[in-house]
Chains A and B, each alone.
Chain A
Amino acid sequence: MSIKYSQLIRDSQIDELRPKLVLELNSLHERVVIIEDNSKQVNFFFEIPMKSVVYRGATEIFYIQETQVTSSIGIYHHKAVADYSTTFTETSRYTISAWFYKATWTTSWERYLRLSIDAEPS
C-alpha cells in the first residue's frame, strides 16, 4: 500500500478543511481516508469498491467496541469473547486491534487493551 496523493478538502457542512489521503492498495483498488479531527472521529470510505484482503478460511471478526468509549478511573470495560460467537472454541492464530485517540497522559502504566485467557470477574 502506498500514498497516491493527499490534499485538504472542504467539509461543506461545517465549512472546515479536512485532511484527505488516497491510498493505493493495488493497481485496481484505492481507498480514501478522511480525517475528522475536530469531532475526534476517523471516517473511512472507498471511492472504488475493493476486495477484502483480510478474510480467509474460518476467520471470524468480533466487533468488541465499534462506538467511541472514553477511559475513566474506576471504570473497567470488558466483553466476553463467547458473547460474539456460538461456534468458536479455540484458535492458535488470532489478532486484536483498536483505534485510540490520545487525550491526556497520566504518571504510571496506562492500560489500553488486555486479552485475557479466561473470564474476568464482573
Chain B
Amino acid sequence: MLNPRKSFFAFSCYIVLLHSISSSTEGIGRILGAQILSDGTKDCLFTSATTTAPVYDWSPWENAPTMSKISLDKWTFIAQSVDVDSSTQYGFRYVLGAAAPAAPTSVLNSRSPSSGSFYKLYSNATVVYTNDPHGGSPCGCIMQYIRVYTDYFPSTQDQMISLALMNPISK
C-alpha cells in the first residue's frame, strides 16, 4: 500500500532532481542558441527550447557537418528569428569571402516545433555569448555586433542580409 506522504515526498524529490539536471546541462531555458560540434560530425548550428522539450537542436541544418561550413579566419554572420504565434523559426548563416572578393554564401532555413511551442521573449531574459557556464567549450572566436530585435521577425534572405549589414550610422 502506498503511503501518500512518502509518495508525495518522493515525487517532490524527483521534480527537484529533474530540475537540477536540466539546469546543469541546458542552462536556464535556452530559448534560442547557436552551437557547433567541432569534431565535424554534427549538422547543427542552432538550437532552442520548446514548452515540451528543453533541447530542440536544429539538426539536420544544411545537410552537411556545420564545422565544414565555417571557415577559419573568416567572419560569419548568424541570426535566428522566432514567431511564436505562427510556430515558426528561421535560421540564417552568411559568410563573406575575406581573402578574395568571392561571392557571399548564405543559408536560410525554417522549422516548426516538433511538439509544444516556442517560448516568448520576456524582459528578464539574458544573452550569454562566446561561452556558456552550463557546459561546452568557448566558441574559439571573436564576436561582435550581437543584437536582439523585439517585435521583429525577418523571414527572407534580404531581410536577414539587411540585419547583417546594418550599421548604426544608417539609423
| Residue positions of A touching B, CB distance < 8 A | 1, 3, 6-8, 19-21, 23, 25, 31, 33, 35, 37, 40-42, 44-46, 49-50, 52-82, 84-85, 88-121
Contact = CB atoms under 8 A, between A and B. Distances in A.
Contacts of B20: none
Interface string B67-81: 100111111111111
A58 B153 CA distance: 12
Interface of B: 27-39, 49, 67, 70-85, 96-104, 119-133, 135-154, 157-159, 161-171
Given A60-B150, A119-B28, A70 B130 contact: yes
Contacts of B125: 80-81, 115-118
B119 A95 contact: no
A67 B162 CA distance: 19
A98 B133 CA distance: 19
Given A35-B97, A53-B162, A97-B163, 4 more contacts: A63-B147, A80-B126, A93-B151, A102-B140
A74 B126 CA distance: 18
A21 B165 CA distance: 12
Contact of B84 (A74, A92, A96): A92
Given A1-B157, A69-B143, A106 B138 contact: yes
Given A96-B80, A106-B137, A113 B33 contact: yes
Contacts of A67: 144
A71 B121 contact: no
A118 B122 contact: yes
B58 to A, nearest CB: 13
A14 B81 CA distance: 39
B167 A44 contact: yes
Given A61-B149, A92-B84, A54 B166 contact: yes
Contacts of A88: 123, 150
A109 B55 CA distance: 14
Given A8-B101, A69-B130, A117-B31, A59 B152 contact: yes
B54 to A, nearest CB: 10
A44 to B, nearest CB: 5
A102 B73 contact: yes
A19 B97 contact: yes
Contact of B70 (A6, A42, A71, A102): A102
